[in-house]
Structure 1
């Protein structure tokens, strides 16, 4: 495998996770994509907003490229980390679903510029990491953000299934068996779990 095909493979893997994240928003109401579905307030639109800033931080700022927008981590941003360390995990009332999706796509565009201009071995610095390990390669950051994106895609899958039963990997391939008796399956899982009460 050449360096170029290795980079292409990593970028494709990242895009699969990105697409899954946006698919999880499709067809859900504005309320449902915003409402907290866990005790820590995790919500679908917040996950997308968070990943937009993850990509901007790790693929743009880390490699010394100009940031296209302010981030919640800038102290002078109203509602930023000084006010709330989780400001990137929730869409404000002023931010529409389209605003957040546009931000995510803007991050993809700027990340793509980094991918086109740098090789996997090229280095940058993650400003908020400890100095003894903040020098990183594009390869490291691609692996890091792929893991982060797919982790949150898993969260989004569970959140969306909780909302309305929509589950699976992609719209055209759910990775779930068709015509499966889910009610019986859940009953079997519960029956085994009950033995350990």
Structure 2
């Protein structure tokens, strides 16, 4: 597969859906960063859809990882790295991040913290972070308030990449948690990123992997 080719000295990008060659657009680093950040954001929220209040909160790992807690955590990450760090505080109260707050308080939602409250907080965090990305040059240096004074400087470019990495990591966590609950998988409604196969095919596939693991364990 060739993603692009030269045509008459002009760079072109192949439209894979139509097979046509279209002129490449000029690079836009901010647009690229925003695209990958937004895909992770959307995936994280999509994992909540169709689940009960209990299921979005229940811990499914020994360390308590849960779906709504991941969203709550991601909101605080965006408001911190893409707000406070660049002198753009959001004004959103985040008591679970205050000095002296309970450890790990940003990774789970109390019974009083509704799904609507956490989701709306996350969407406001998106808007605030996006405004920072739009307003501030990528080379701008900010200071991360919770990092050591001697090593707290970071460029906006670095901060955005860091948030993208963190959000995609947690979207992966959410994907596994959701699969354990009801078998739903994928990045979004139109892309499960899996080869075709019905439930019988997947059960056979899993059994095959289990046999291979057991054989490898016996040989070790």
TM-score with structure 1 setting the length: 0.92
Q: 2:182 aligns with which of 164, 170, 173?
A: 164
Counterpart Cα distance in 2 of 1:4 and 1:135: 27
1:100 aligns with 2:124: no
Deviations 1:84-113 (A, max 9, x none): 210100111111111110010010011011
Task: State the shift of 1:179 in Å.
Answer: 2.5
Task: State the shift of 1:4 in Å.
Answer: 7.2
Q: 1:138 aligns with which of 148, 156, 160?
A: 156
In the alignment, which residue of structure 2 is the partner of 1:193?
A: 213
User: Once superposed, what is the RMSD of the aligned Cα atoms?
Assistant: 1.7
Query: Does the aligned pair in 1 maintain the 2:40–2:171 contact within 8 Å?
Result: yes
**Structure 2 residues without counterparts, runs of 5 or longer:** 1-23
Q: 1:184 aligns with which of 204, 208, 216?
A: 204
Counterpart Cα distance in 1 of 2:108 and 2:203: 33
Task: State the shift of 1:45 in Å.
Answer: 0.2
**Structure 1 residues without counterparts, runs of 5 or longer:** 76-81
SS state at 1:57 partner: helix
Query: Does the aligned pair in 2 maintain the 1:3–1:120 contact within 8 Å?
Result: no
User: Which fold has the larger relative contact order, with Cα–Cα distance below 8 Å and residues 6 or more apart in sequence?
Assistant: 1
Query: Does the aligned pair in 1 maintain the 2:79–2:89 contact within 8 Å?
Result: no
Counterpart Cα distance in 2 of 1:3 and 1:57: 31
In the alignment, which residue of structure 2 is the partner of 1:155?
A: 173
Counterpart Cα distance in 2 of 1:6 and 1:90: 34
In the alignment, which residue of structure 2 is the partner of 1:22?
A: 45
Counterpart Cα distance in 1 of 2:27 and 2:128: 19
Deviation larger for 60-69 or 13-22: 60-69
Larger radius of gyration: 2
SS state at 1:136 partner: strand
Aligned residues: 191
Task: State the shift of 1:67 in Å.
Answer: 2.5
Task: State the shift of 1:70 in Å.
Answer: 2.0
Counterpart Cα distance in 2 of 1:59 and 1:48: 16
